[in-house]
Amino acid sequence: MRHFFTGPVIKTELLVEWLGRHGIVAEQAWVDPGLADDGDLSREAQVRVAETDYDRAYQLFFAEREDEL
């Protein structure tokens, strides 16, 4: 798995779901796994995707959308 994004868990959970709907398997992991899971939605988490899906995920998420102009 390759690191794709780091941010607050409220964003990473949404990203994992969104990638899944595009057929890309993603996993979420805490940046600091030693902290207690207290439900804090601003806690930092990472999203990882398979190496083979990384380029497609990048294009879907980070590429500029010319068709939206």
Residue 21: inside a domain: yes
Angle (CA) 30 59 26, round 5°: 30
Residue 38: inside a domain: no
Provide mean pLDDT across the span 40-66: 89
Residue 57: inside a domain: yes
Give the per-residue pLDDT at 34: 84
Residue 22: inside a domain: yes
Residue 69: inside a domain: no
**pTM of the prediction?**
0.83
Six token digits for residue 26: 């993603």
Six token digits for residue 10: 């409220």
pLDDT at 45 over 90: yes
CB of 5 within 8 A of CB of 47? yes
* Amino acid identity at 69: L
Domain of 13: which CATH number? Answer: 3.30.70.1530
Q: Find the domain containing 52 and state its range.
A: 2-32+43-64
Per-residue pLDDT band for 54 (boundaries 50, 70, 90) equals: very high
pLDDT at 65 over 90: no
Q: How many domains does the chain have?
A: 1
